[in-house]
Chains A and B, each alone.
Chain A
Amino acid sequence: MNVVATTPTPNPSPQGGGESIAAPSVVEARGLSLTFDTADGPVQALSNVDLSVGRGEFVSFIGPSGCGKTTFLRVIADLEQPTAGDIRVNGLTPEAARRARAYGYVFQAAGLFPWRTIEKNVALPLEIMGYSSRERQERVARTLDLVNLTGFERKFPWQLSGGMQQRASIARALAFDADLLLMDEPFGALDEIVRDHLNEQLLELWARTNKTICFVTHSIPEAVYLSTRIVVMSPRPGRVTDVIESTLPKERPLDIRETPEFLAIAHRVREGLRAGHGDE
C-alpha cells in the first residue's frame, strides 16, 4: 500500500475496510490499476489503488489534473475498465452495480438535454427505468424541492444560470434514489460565490438523504469543507498518496473555514499534494 509511503498517517490505516467502519463498504478497491493506450504510448492513469468507502461517507478525491481522480470515479461507474486489480461496488462488480442502477453520476458539465424542460430532464432516468408517470411526477417534485428548484419545472436549461443547471443535474442524479452519488468536479466551472452556496446546499442534502458521496475536486477548501474523508492523489502514475480523516463536526457552517481545525486539515492536504509532486 502506497498510502503510507509519503506522509505519516496518525489514524490506523483508514482503508482497512472492516476495522474502522462497521457498515459494509460501498466501494472497495484492491490493487486497482488502469493503463490507457494512447497514441504516445501507454499512460498509467491509476496505479495500485487501495481504497474503501463506507456507507454514508462523504469522500473527496483531490489532486492535480492527470492524477486519475476522475478515472477512479469512472471505474466505479463502469465507464472505464480497470486493467488490473479488483473493485466492488455494493459488493458487486461495477457493471452489475451499474445494471442495478446503484449510483447517480453528476458530470463536470450539467449536460442537461436542451430540448427537455427541467422537469423532463430530471424525469429522464425515471423514464428509462420504467417508473410510472404518477411516480415520476412525485419524484421530480421531491428532488427539485431538494435542490431548491421548485418553480422552474417548465423552464428549458438555457433559461437557467450555470449554478441552477448544475443543481438540476444533481436532482437528475438523485431522482431514482441510488444510495451512492458520484460527483466529478460538479462545481468546477462555477464562480466562487455560487460554489460556496452550492457546497452548503450539498452538505445539507447529504445530511438529509444519508447518501454516500464520492466527490472529485481540485479545490482544497471545497474538499476540506465537504468531506468526512479526503483522498489525496498524485499524477504519473495516478496513485493515492494520503488519506485524511476529517475531524470537523458534521454540522458545518460556511465560516467553519476560518477555524484553526479547518486550516490544519487544509494544510495537511496541501502538504500531501506537494509531497505527491515531489515524488516525480
Chain B
Amino acid sequence: MTASAASTPTESPATLRRLTDGKALPIAIVVAAIVLIWYGFTVYLNAPWQIGLYQRAGTEWTAADLVRDTMAQERPVLPAPHQVVAEMWKTTVETRPTSNRSLLNHAWITLSSTLLGFAIGTTLGVILAVGIVHNRAMDKSVMPWVIASQTIPILAIAPMIIVVLNAIGLSGLLPKALISTYLSFFPVVVGMVKGFRSPEAIQFDLMRTYNANRTQTFFRLRWPSALPFLFTSMKVAVAISLVGAIVGELPTGAVAGLGARLLAGSYYGQTIQIWSALFMAAALAAVLVALVGLAQRLVMARMGARP
C-alpha cells in the first residue's frame, strides 16, 4: 500500500489532509474538554474559601462575582488555567533567564542534570545489557539486582544518595544526575537485553557459517538489531530521568531547579507556582521524548526502514 502511494504525485497534500482530519481535531476537542473541566473544578474547589471571605467581609455577592473571584485568588486550591499561563509567561518571557525567579533558569538546571543522568544511565544500561547477553554468570546474577533496584522507592533513597555523595565530597550536578541514572538505566538494560537477543536463529547461524567472532557478530548483527529497542527504551528513560532530577532536587534544601520550585511552592502555598513548574516539567518531558523520537526516525531512515 505504501509503495503504490509513494509513487503518486498527489500523495503529500493527501497526507496533510489525513493528518489534520485524523489527529488535530480530536486532540483539540480533548484539550478543550480538559480546560473546561478544569475551569469547572477551579470554581468548585475555590468557592468555599471565597464564600467565607464574602461572609466575613459581609459583602453581597452574586454567582458571577463568585465565578470571577474564584479564578483570581492569590493562593487558590486549584488555580485557573489562565492564571498558570500568566504565571508561566511572567516567569519565562518577562524575566531575565539568568534571574533566580526565571522558570527557564530553573528548567535549565533540572534539564542539565536530566541530560547528564540520562547519558550516564543509557551508557550504563547498554554496558550492562552487553554483559548480560554475553556472559551467563552476569545473566544469572545481575538481572535480579537490576529488577530489585527498581522496587525501592526512589523518594526513599534519593536523600540518602545525596547525603552519602556529599559526604565523599560530591555535590552539585552529579548527585542529582545519579538519581536520574538510577531510574533511567533500567528500561535501557531491559530493552537492550531483549534487543541484543532479537536477531533470528538463522541470522546467528549465518554469522557462524562465516566463522564470525563475537565482536563481529555484535557490531554487525546484535547492535543494529537492537537499535529500535534502544530508542524505545530511551524514550522511557529520558522521561523518568526528568522525574529523577526533580526528585533529586527535593532534598537538596530547595535551592534551584524545578523540584526546588515545587517544594518552595508547597512550603508557601504558592499553588500557581507549583502548577507552572509542573507544566514546565511536562513540556520539558514532551520535548525530550520528541527529540528522541526524531533521532529514532532519522537513524531508522538511514537504516532503510520502510517510510
Q: Which residues of A contact B (CB under 8 A)?
A: 77-79, 98-99, 101, 103-105, 107-109, 111, 113-117, 124-125, 127-129, 156-158
Asked if residues A111 and B200 are in contact (CB atoms below 8 Å), the reply is yes
Return chain B residues, CB-CB under 8 Å to A117. 304
Asked if residues A127 and B304 are in contact (CB atoms below 8 Å), the reply is no
State the CA gap A127–B221 with chains docked (Å).
13
In the assembled complex, the CB of B288 is this many whole angstroms from the nearest CB of chain A, namely: 26
Determine which of B202, B207, B227, B303 lies in contact with A108 in the assembled complex, contact meaning CB atoms within 8 Å.
B202
Task: Contacts A79-B205, A107-B206 given; indicate if A114 touches B304 (C-beta within 8 A).
Answer: yes
State the CA gap A108–B205 with chains docked (Å).
12
Asked if residues A98 and B211 are in contact (CB atoms below 8 Å), the reply is yes
Tally inter-chain residue pairs, CB-CB below 8 A: 55
- B203 CB–A CB distance under 8 Å: yes
Return chain B residues, CB-CB under 8 Å to A98. 208-209, 211
- B267 CB–A CB distance under 8 Å: no
Return chain A residues, CB-CB under 8 Å to B304. 114-117, 156-158
Asked if residues A113 and B221 are in contact (CB atoms below 8 Å), the reply is yes
Q: Is the interface of B mostly helix, strand, loop or mixed?
A: helix
Q: Which residues of B contact A (CB under 8 A)?
A: 200, 202-203, 205-212, 216, 220-221, 224, 227, 303-306
State the CA gap A127–B304 with chains docked (Å).
20
In the assembled complex, the CB of B218 is this many whole angstroms from the nearest CB of chain A, namely: 12
State the CA gap A111–B203 with chains docked (Å).
6
Determine which of B205, B210, B216, B220 lies in contact with A107 in the assembled complex, contact meaning CB atoms within 8 Å.
B205
State the CA gap A274–B206 with chains docked (Å).
34
In the assembled complex, the CB of A47 is this many whole angstroms from the nearest CB of chain B, namely: 24
Asked if residues B206 and A103 are in contact (CB atoms below 8 Å), the reply is no
Asked if residues A101 and B202 are in contact (CB atoms below 8 Å), the reply is no
Q: Is the interface of A mostly helix, strand, loop or mixed?
A: loop
Asked if residues A128 and B202 are in contact (CB atoms below 8 Å), the reply is no
Return chain A residues, CB-CB under 8 Å to B303. 114-115
Report the 7 A-B pairs with minimum CB-CB distance, sorted nearest first. A156-B304, A115-B303, A105-B209, A107-B202, A128-B210, A128-B212, A111-B202
Determine which of B203, B212, B216, B227 lies in contact with A113 in the assembled complex, contact meaning CB atoms within 8 Å.
B203
State the CA gap A116–B209 with chains docked (Å).
19
What residue of chain A has the Cβ atom nearest to residue B212's Cβ?
A: A128
**30 A-B Cβ contacts within 8 A?**
A77-B209, A78-B208, A79-B205, A79-B208, A98-B208, A98-B209, A99-B211, A101-B210, A104-B209, A105-B205, A107-B202, A107-B205, A107-B206, A109-B200, A109-B202, A111-B200, A111-B203, A113-B203, A113-B220, A113-B224, A114-B303, A114-B305, A115-B224, A115-B305, A117-B304, A125-B210, A127-B220, A128-B212, A128-B216, A158-B306
Return chain A residues, CB-CB under 8 Å to B200. 109, 111
Determine which of B202, B209, B220, B221 lies in contact with A103 in the assembled complex, contact meaning CB atoms within 8 Å.
B209
Asked if residues A129 and B210 are in contact (CB atoms below 8 Å), the reply is yes
State the CA gap A78–B205 with chains docked (Å).
10
In the assembled complex, the CB of A180 is this many whole angstroms from the nearest CB of chain B, namely: 11
State the CA gap A58–B165 with chains docked (Å).
70
Return chain A residues, CB-CB under 8 Å to B211. 98-99, 101, 128
State the CA gap A111–B211 with chains docked (Å).
17
What residue of chain B has the Cβ atom nearest to residue A173's Cβ?
A: B209
Asked if residues A111 and B206 are in contact (CB atoms below 8 Å), the reply is yes
Return chain B residues, CB-CB under 8 Å to A101. 210-211
State the CA gap A158–B3 with chains docked (Å).
11
State the CA gap A276–B200 with chains docked (Å).
33
State the CA gap A140–B83 with chains docked (Å).
66
What residue of chain B has the Cβ atom nearest to residue A79's Cβ?
A: B205
What residue of chain B has the Cβ atom nearest to residue A176's Cβ?
A: B210
Return chain B residues, CB-CB under 8 Å to A78. 208
Return chain A residues, CB-CB under 8 Å to B205. 79, 105, 107
Return chain A residues, CB-CB under 8 Å to B212. 128
Return chain A residues, CB-CB under 8 Å to B206. 105, 107, 111
State the CA gap A109–B205 with chains docked (Å).
12
Determine which of B203, B209, B210, B216 lies in contact with A79 in the assembled complex, contact meaning CB atoms within 8 Å.
B209
Return chain A residues, CB-CB under 8 Å to B221. 113
